[in-house]
A and B are shown apart, each in its own frame.
Chain A
Amino acid sequence: MFSVSKKKRTIPGFGLSVGYTIFYLSLIVLIPLSTLFFKTASLDFGAFWEAVASPRTLAAYRLSFGASFIAALVNAVFGFLIAWVLARYSFPGKKIIDALVDLPFALPTAVAGIALTAIYSPHGWVGRPLAALGIKTAFNATGVVLALTFIGLPFVVRTIQPVLEDFDPAVEEAAASLGADRWQTFRRVIFPALFPPLLTGATMAFARALGEYGSVIFISGNMPSKTEIAPLLIMTKLEQYDYAGATAIAVVMLLVSFALFLVINYLQWLGSRRSGMNP
């Protein structure tokens, strides 16, 4: 990525487009985010620590990061499967399934939350039989994971699918002709190529899940210290006009997420370098 700037650029317009990029990012992302830090800075350290490290806040972080992570994992597995089916097979109704994947993008999250709660609550179609088996699927952490899985699904499918569709069949044929069986081909040829988009998709799903509010609050039950997600805690602070306390929690979430994404990007870079060695 950065090697571009070292070489002499052959495509004109670099200065203009980068200038625009920075201006645009500042306007839409950086300046709004910087106010977070300014608001938080109005707290002294004791008050900041009080806001971000109370047992209740810690419980909320645990739930938010934990549930988002599990949801991203679930999406990585099943999203991969869906992308595989959509890219590799053709069957009647495929277009419809393809369109269904995008629904979580388009649906207002509150609607998603209400719909999920209706189905998974102890009186819902799915919740009732499961409740009879002793499995609670709403108003606990399971409900949170469920909602986060729902909203994260398209990210995984939509990042893997195009890569899979563009994957040259000749590579697989070459592997087969060199004596690889199908499992070996998948494991050593196809999967390494799909791993970077899979990681990207799962990361995006994870990031989306961390910030999700609308759909989760309907299904989580919102019990303090138990099923309270961090964004809800931010809302409760705002409801008390405690802007600084709210932004303090937001800043911590932002920094932790940023650190996580750096690590993931680093992993991805490692991965691409390794696969780049024997192309």
Chain B
Amino acid sequence: MKMILKNWAGAVLAMALTLSVSSPALAAKEVTLLNVSYDPTREFYEDTNKAFAKYWKEKTGETVTINQSHGGSGKQARAVIDGLDADVVTLALAYDIDALNEKANLIPKEWQSRLPNNSSPYASTIVFLVRKGNPKGIKDWDDLARAGISVITPNPKTSGGARWNYLAAWVYALRKWNSDEEKTKEFVKAIYKNVPVLDSGARGSTTTFIEREIGDVLIAWENEAYLAVNELGKDKFEIVVPSLSILAEPPVTVVDKVADRRGTRKVAEAYLEYLYSDQGQEIATRHYYRSRNEKIAAQYADKFSKVELVTVDEAFGGWQKAHKAHFADKGTFDQIYQG
């Protein structure tokens, strides 16, 4: 019982602390921004925020502090809908940002056309991570559907990253079977038959593959795959780039209602524009995101493998449609797991 009481005391204290921290600071000439982002961008935004604070200080003399919040993309969007004061959101997919418009009307419907490249300052793609020497000889999506291969990917119902994986496989199969929906579904089903564990998030799958040593191939964000190889040893893993993949465009936007209320619109917009600047793009490239700026992209061309990339808009007619067809209840993902 004492233990429980202690826990309660802790909870009350934590609540009090949270309240006191989130009450607005009144210091003049000092701005704070909250950037609500998804999981694997933590290190990238740490660097960006430092660089932007310096840039902003030089330009305007204002001191800007940018707080970061990271978590699963969908969870983060829900937190903002429920009232987390995010000045900007930088999430994994447009579907989650659309929800800010649909569920809470925090941003205008056409938010995605406000910034270049569908409001995605950086891009990534989906690649394979295999064990050193590629013992199972995995080259392309076909190999993932082979019997006897164990594939690790998270659950697209709970993970934004996993949806990109699923759509990438789908795009490849569509092309392979000349847009035959049934055959495409069979192909994707064969891949998911090879999945022994559907973790709830992308980091969970990375852990399953790397720490638990389960599976022959991990379907992952390119930047996560590079991080895994460079941080955990080139002697253990290799990256395999498929012949066709999806252009993953993690979008960003100012949350209009919050920024206007807090009076941070100007700095919030400058912050997002900074992501598009040469410096911003260089930082993104350093963190293995593909640059959208042709000059920077050319400069780092040899850092990334050449791969044909298809966008969600081209292949599925946008995220709303893709979600409805594949990830909503009774979508193709549910069908794959029925019988």
A: residues with CB less than 8 A from B are 56, 102, 105-106, 114, 117-118, 121-124, 139, 154, 158, 217-218, 221-225, 232, 235-236, 238-242, 245
Contacts and interface: CB of A to CB of B under 8 A. Distances in A.
Contact of B214 (A123, A158, A217, A242): A123
B105 interface: no
Interface stretch (B130-138, B192-200, B216-224): B192-200
Interface of B: 1, 3-4, 7, 72, 74-75, 78, 99, 102-103, 155, 157-158, 196-200, 204, 207, 211-214, 323, 327-329, 334, 337-338
Interface residues of chain A: helix, strand, loop or mixed (majority)? helix
A235 B200 contact: yes
A223 B338 CA distance: 11
B214 A222 contact: no
Contact of B157 (A122, A221, A239, A245): A239
Given A222-B198, A224-B337, 10 more contacts: A102-B3, A118-B212, A124-B212, A217-B199, A217-B204, A218-B199, A224-B198, A225-B337, A235-B158, A239-B75
Given A122-B214, A123-B213, A218-B204, A236 B337 contact: no
Contacts of A236: 155, 157-158
A105 B3 contact: yes
B212 A232 contact: no
Contacts of B158: 222, 232, 235-236, 239
A270 to B, nearest CB: 26
B214 A114 contact: no
Contacts of B327: 240
A121 B212 contact: yes
- Closest A-B pairs by Cβ, 5 of them: A236-B157, A224-B337, A239-B74, A222-B198, A221-B197
A114 B210 CA distance: 13
A217 B3 contact: no
A222 B197 contact: yes
Contact of B99 (A222, A232, A241): A241
B157 A240 contact: yes
B78 A238 contact: yes
B200 A232 contact: yes
B212 A123 contact: yes
A241 B74 CA distance: 8
Given A123-B214, A158-B1, A240-B157, A139 B197 contact: yes
23 contacts: A56-B334, A102-B3, A114-B207, A118-B212, A121-B212, A158-B1, A158-B3, A217-B199, A217-B200, A217-B204, A221-B196, A222-B197, A223-B198, A223-B337, A224-B198, A232-B200, A235-B158, A236-B155, A236-B157, A240-B329, A241-B78, A241-B102, A242-B329
Contact of A238 (B74, B198, B214): B74
A238 B76 CA distance: 12
B334 A224 contact: yes
A144 to B, nearest CB: 13
Contact of A105 (B7, B72, B199, B328): B7
Nearest to B98: A241
Nearest to A220: B197
B212 A117 contact: yes
A102 B78 CA distance: 33
B157 to A, nearest CB: 4
Contacts of A239: 72, 74-75, 157-158
